[in-house]
Each structure stands twice: as structure tokens, then as C-alpha cells.
Structure 1
């Protein structure tokens, strides 16, 4: 037997010549519209690409970044989550800009290196050590540096006056430094754009919602206040709901998060939900699973259609679909018999339950057959909405047969009981009747379900390359 070769789902490859070559989610139109939008502004703006976890934000902005590069629009990519081990967001941002200068060539690179050198010096002024505080003086007093109460009181008074003067001086210096900092940034942006005033420098900030709350807030503040320079555009890719949780963790649960974020974000763009069923086909092909899925079962009913329907019914995110395919890949290559028609649909179902409803998945055992099946049927029906057009009634019928084998019951009676329990209409009832006719020759037992569960669990023993 040949050696088993396994790999996990890879990130979408962004082709340099054609960034939309592997665009299975049809993002091209969104990117073209957003490009037209940001290039119509000469002022600094902050645009937020808002989408939930696992909806493809990173792939979207990397695809967009390559598209901008092909339009000769300069870009910088900053992964905030990879940088939040630092204590200062400004240092991290400037460091990323400094690294990106290596991509420039010729006179632009030479000029940019001189400008970034000036910026480094200006940033140093923002991070000067604070002056001694009254608390520090108290420590000195306690250690014997000051003796009498009068001396301490006089020293505190003198220190307060000197601190005020020093703080005012520092404020005046910081205002001058900020002006010089922004002027240098503006020069750098022009340098990136090769002198074209109509080309913005686009700085993408990714994974902000995964950062430590304090670091995420600091990135927002620095982007808005220090980088508020003409022709610099910030694009944040984040889940605003999750970012809101981070902000409330710092400022309290009663904070108006939307009001707070409006201080930093000029425009929101809600990333449209992708046609997820197309993505699962792409993943299956990438892993070589398409050869298993491109066959018909249950009277010429396509297996890939069943997969697409159940993925859509449970609304798996793109990231959850990747996890689903990784598990499926290992299961079908190590337990070939679960590809039999009476097992494969349950392989899909149990795999999804493991990802979305782990407690229900774990409850499957030999001693709670009826309870488990009843809970799964209830779970399936909880996913349905009035507009669902998925044809998965055969799955419900097969689950019912686990509890009441066909040799021991009338399927008409079973359907009637099921229809009454969930108050189904006549259309649904007829679908169930048709499905029972379809699956009469297929049997599934509790042992089959346990075998499938074991095949799924094998995936946790593999290390994916």
C-alpha cells in the first residue's frame, strides 16, 4: 500500500499577475468598488472591513493588496495580532513601515530611508521617560532621603510646580514633534507613490479583533491621531462585534462602543456573505476529495449536493469548512468503508456536530441511542427556516429508522408521529414519505454511528503539514 499522504487546507494562493485567479468567493467586484472609493479621497481616512470570524477577511485584504500593487498603488500590510507582544503600537507600526521600504527601488528607496531615519528620531521623542512623580519622592522620603515633615511638604510643593512646568514644556515639544512627524509621514507617502499626489499609501491592518484589548485600542488611536496625514489610507480588517467586546473589557460594559469607534473609523464596509457552497467545492478539489463526492446516491441524488445542503443548513463559516474538510480528508482515507452510501451522509452530519455542537456530538454512545437521535432530529429542525430549500428529509428518515428499525414499525405511523411532533405542513410530510421510499434499502445502526464517530476521532491523532 502506498504511503498515506495528508495535508490540511491551504490559504488561497494570491497570484501576483492575476489576484482573482483563485477567487472562488467572487470578491473581484467588491475590491474594484472599494479601490475606486479610497482613491477618490485625498484626505486621510480609516476604512473598516467588517466581517465575522472565519468569513475570509485576511484573504480579501491580501487579494485587494495585490490588486492595488498591480495598479501601482503603494501598500503596507500590518498583522496587529502578530505584533501585540510589543508594548507600544506606534513602535510596531513604524517598524512595519521601515521594513516595507526594502521593497522600494532606486531614488525612492534612498529618499525613503532618509525620511524613516528622521521618523525614528521623532518617535523617540514620543517615548521619553516620564519625570519623577510625587510617589517616587515619597519612596525617597521613606528611605531616609528626607527627614522632617516640613522638608517633605516644601519638597512636594516645589516638585508640583516643577512638574507642571516640565509637563507644559513637554506638551509644547510634543506638539512640535507631532507636526514634524506628520510632515515626514506625508513626504514618505509621496515617496511611496513615486511623487503622484493622487495615489494614496494604503496601510492594511489585519487581525485587530484578536489582539489584547489595550493594544487594539492603542493601534486605533495611533492610526487616527498620529497618521492623520493626507494620502494615507488605513484599512482595518476586523470583526467589529468582537472588537467591541475588547473595548468594553477596558472601558466597562456600559460603553457605547459604536459611538466610541466613530471617533476612529470614518467608514464601515460590511463584507458581503460569500456563497459558501462554492467554497466547499474548492476545498474538496484542493484535497482530492472531489473524486469521492462526485457520485450519486439515493436514486441519482448527487453526494456533493447533499454536502452543500448540509453545509448551508448549518451555516458553516469559511474557517469551519476548512476544519470540516481536514477531518473529512483523514476519515475517508483511513476508513474507506464509511464512504458506503448508508454511512457517508452521517459522516457529514457528525463531523458538523463535532464542530458546531460538541456536547451533542460527545453524547453519542451505545446506551443513549433514542435520546441521541431525538436530540439530533431536534437540532436539525432548529436549523431550518421558512425559506430553506434543502432536501435532507432522507437524513431525518434514516435517523428515525435507527430508533425504530423498519422490520418493527410502519413508516406511515412513524412519519405521522414525526409530523405531529414538529407540526410540519403537507409539503414537508410528502417529502418525508418520498424520502422513506428512497432509503428503504439503506440501513444505519447505532454501531454504524459509533464507527463513524471513531473515524472522525482518528483525525485528532494526525499532525497536519
Structure 2
């Protein structure tokens, strides 16, 4: 009866793929071969949606690179966006990572980072607001328009203009020295091996303040554009695009803008019917509740865990949503009375609705029984087309349970109920037969609106608790 929360995937130092339930090893090996083929600086974007395991992926990749003696640095941009300057945050993270070096490499690196600090100070000196910013922008490779320059000069006295031009020229000279020092530092990390890049992972960029996210991109691309330094951004490009438009306007061509900073995109493949939720259920001790054969389908050796896995797949739950689902089940199953198999299936389904379609889930109440069931059946059929290659009857069984709520099998002709349902969605004969077989089983244990409401209440109890995400 003890409750646990989902833990972060453990990255084993000796074997980073030991707990790789998503089969990411092949992706990482291909990407490693790709980045080690370049001697020039590149920026690679690992693009994936919210909750798809980007952080775990790059940490697994980072450990894999370490095992190949390829130097790496991990920078969580979101944890650093409280600072005012992305350059300071980036350099600070590099400075901290020097502690991992040993011997002469560490001594040399400390001297180099000291020089880099001085060069960086030149970029961040407080100066007259307009021209100073233009100087830094130009020095870092940004584009400046004639109108910006004209406005700046119009607002400054001649002496101030000369002062800012001098600072601009100094910053341009400093930029070359800055990059040269970075190149030396990269070689130091690689122990003098010119064929080993320094790989800097930047995580959680899409969660940062818009201005900070943009500044990180600019600094990574322009100031750190040094041979053998590779940046890997782990981000949701769609969300990052929203941040960029928040600064530059909704009409901005985000893809065109990002192409200035990102050399290559790699779309992280969505997990295919993986065993991630199986792994979570074992971690939380739910497997003993779920490894129970469904007595309705004895010929298939089909368990509750199989149903949970298939519902997760058909509703395309992200890894983070699968965690949230397991957290709900963990609390419900260990604090409530024993469920019947039918109630378990409804528990899985209503929990998924809560995560994926909260408005539909909230509409479940005693007064909206018919409309709720009708909308839910519409939802199921949008997720589960009749041509789905699946010989298991569980979704038809779920559909029949829901149909019995508005047309109890004991009081209505299930034949007419099925005929009406088949006619409404134009189902084929195979689907109709599955429904008939499932309705025969549903008649043994009729489901009522009260059953659904009680399950909803247990789900709501579990939702009173908030757990940190592990993915």
C-alpha cells in the first residue's frame, strides 16, 4: 500500500542505455557519428514536443559521448534565465565545468577562462543605451538597419558618437580574441585532439523568457562560432516560435528567423508503442494490480496492463502524460477499494480523458448522461478508426459499456442499440460483430452513470496531489 512517485530515468555511467525503454540508442549513435564528422562549428536542434523525453535523451547522449572521451557541457537555460545576460550564464557554466578536468588541462583551462571573462566583460559594459546596444549587436554578427543607426546618431552628441564608435571598434577586435580563446579552450577539453569537438548541450530553451531564449541563440551562433564547438539545443521549436513572435510580432517568419541560428534540425521520433508505461507501472508497484488476465478474453492471454498500454498508444500520450496517468492510477489503486475489471478499464479511460480532453471529462455529471456518452463515443471513434489493425475487443467492450449506461442491456434490446450505433458511424461487418460479442459480455455486469461518477470522484481525489515530473 506504500505510495511512490515516478523517478527520473537513471543514466548508468558505464552503460547509458541500460534503462533505455524508448530504444533511443540507435538515434544517439547516428547523431554521434553526424556531429563527429564536422570540424566546423554547428548548431543542431533536437526538436520534440512537450513531454517527449528531450532531457533524458540528451543526458543519455551526453554520457554516451563521455564514454567515448568526447568532452561535453550541459547548460539548462531555463534554470539560468533569472540572469540578465545569456553570455554571462553560458560562460559561467563553462567555467564551472572546468572543475571536471584534471592535471595540466585544468590549469591551462583556468588560465584561458580567465581571459575569456575579461573579453566577455567588454561585451557587457554599461554604455549609452542606444549606440552601445548597436555596437554589441554588430559585434556579435546581428543585423542592424540604416534607420536604427540614423536614430541612434540623432540622439547622441558628436563626442558621444565618437566614444561609441571607439567602443564598437574595440568590441570587434575583442571578438576575434574571444573566439581564439574559445578555440584554445575547446582543444584543452579535447586533450589536444583536433578531431574531438566540445559538445555543449542547451536544454529547456523553450521554457525561458522570450528575450533570454533569443539571446542564447544569438550568443551560441555568433560569439561561439568556433571550430570544434558544437551546440545541441533540446527544444520544442513550435513553443520556441511562440516566444520569438512574442518579441518580434505575430507576422514573423519563425522558420526563416531560426535558420539564421540553427544549422540542422533533428526531429526526435515519437516513441512507438514502447514499454515506457510498463516500466513506470513496475517502478510504482502497480504491475501486481495490472498483470491480471481479462477473463472476457481468455484466448488472448490479455491483461489489464495490455489494455493500459494500448489505450496509451491509441491516445498518443506523451511520456509526461504517461507519468501523470501513472501518478493518478498509483493513488487511486492504493487508496480505493478493489475495482472490478470493468471499473479498471473505465478508470484507465476516464483518466486519459482527463489528461487529453479535460473539457469532455469535466462534462461528466448526472444531468448530462446522454450528451456525455454521445460525445465520448464520438471521441473514441476519432481515435480508433474501424480499419485499425487490432484483433482485441477491448475498445468495443468499452464502447458497449458506455452504451449500456444510456441503454441498460437488461431493459433494452442490445440488437437495436448496436444497429443504431453501427448505422450512425457506418461500421463494417467486422466491427459490428466485435460489438455484438462485446455486448454479450457487458450484459453480465451492467454499468451505470453512478459507477462513472464514483470513478471520477476517485480520480479527482488523486488530482489533489501534485508530483514533480520525472521525464
CA distance in 1, matches of 2:364, 2:17: 43
Matches within 5 A, 1:386-465: 387-390=387-390, 391=393, 392-462=395-465, 464=467
CA distance in 2, matches of 1:74, 1:332: 45
CA distance in 1, matches of 2:369, 2:156: 77
Q: Does 1:225 align with 2:226?
A: no
Cα offsets for 1:74-113 (capped at 9, x unmatched): 0000011111111110011001001111111111111111
Counterpart in the other structure of 2:329: 328
Asked if the contact 1:185/1:227 (under 8 Å) is kept, the reply is yes
Counterpart in the other structure of 2:297: 299
CA distance in 2, matches of 1:462, 1:233: 41
Counterpart in the other structure of 2:254: 257
Greater mean deviation of Cα atoms: 20-29 or 309-318: 309-318
CA distance in 2, matches of 1:106, 1:386: 66
* Corresponding residue SS for 2:410: helix
The alpha carbon displacement at 1:35 in A equals 0.5
Matches within 5 A, 1:27-426: 27-131=24-128, 160-297=157-294, 298-300=296-298, 301-338=302-339, 340-385=340-385, 387-390=387-390, 391=393, 392-426=395-429
CA distance in 2, matches of 1:158, 1:368: 66
The alpha carbon displacement at 1:442 in A equals 2.1
CA distance in 2, matches of 1:51, 1:157: 46
Asked if the contact 1:209/1:240 (under 8 Å) is kept, the reply is yes
Asked if the contact 2:21/2:274 (under 8 Å) is kept, the reply is no
CA distance in 1, matches of 2:465, 2:242: 34
Distance change in 2, residues 1:168/1:386 (3 Å): farther
CA distance in 2, matches of 1:187, 1:368: 69
| Unpaired segments ≥5 residues, structure 2 | 132-152
* Corresponding residue SS for 2:275: helix
CA distance in 1, matches of 2:65, 2:155: 58
* Corresponding residue SS for 1:255: coil
TM normalised by structure 2 equals: 0.90
Distance change in 2, residues 1:242/1:132 (3 Å): closer
Greater mean deviation of Cα atoms: 284-293 or 432-441: 432-441
The alpha carbon displacement at 1:356 in A equals 1.1
Counterpart in the other structure of 2:135: none
Asked if the contact 2:45/2:234 (under 8 Å) is kept, the reply is yes
Distance change in 2, residues 1:317/1:387 (3 Å): farther
* Corresponding residue SS for 2:265: strand
Residue-pair matches, total: 440
CA distance in 2, matches of 1:366, 1:341: 23
The alpha carbon displacement at 1:424 in A equals 1.3
The alpha carbon displacement at 1:388 in A equals 2.3
Asked if the contact 1:78/1:93 (under 8 Å) is kept, the reply is yes
Distance change in 2, residues 1:132/1:29 (3 Å): closer
Asked if the contact 1:7/1:464 (under 8 Å) is kept, the reply is no
Cα offsets for 1:190-245 (capped at 9, x unmatched): 11111111100000001111111111110000000000000000000011111111
Distance change in 2, residues 1:157/1:243 (3 Å): closer
CA distance in 1, matches of 2:6, 2:209: 28
Cα offsets for 1:398-441 (capped at 9, x unmatched): 10011111111111110000011112122211111121123331
CA distance in 1, matches of 2:63, 2:446: 52
The alpha carbon displacement at 1:342 in A equals 2.1
Distance change in 2, residues 1:158/1:71 (3 Å): closer
Distance change in 2, residues 1:438/1:120 (3 Å): same
CA RMSD of aligned residues (A): 1.7
Asked if the contact 1:102/1:109 (under 8 Å) is kept, the reply is yes
The alpha carbon displacement at 1:337 in A equals 2.1
Greater mean deviation of Cα atoms: 269-278 or 251-260: 269-278
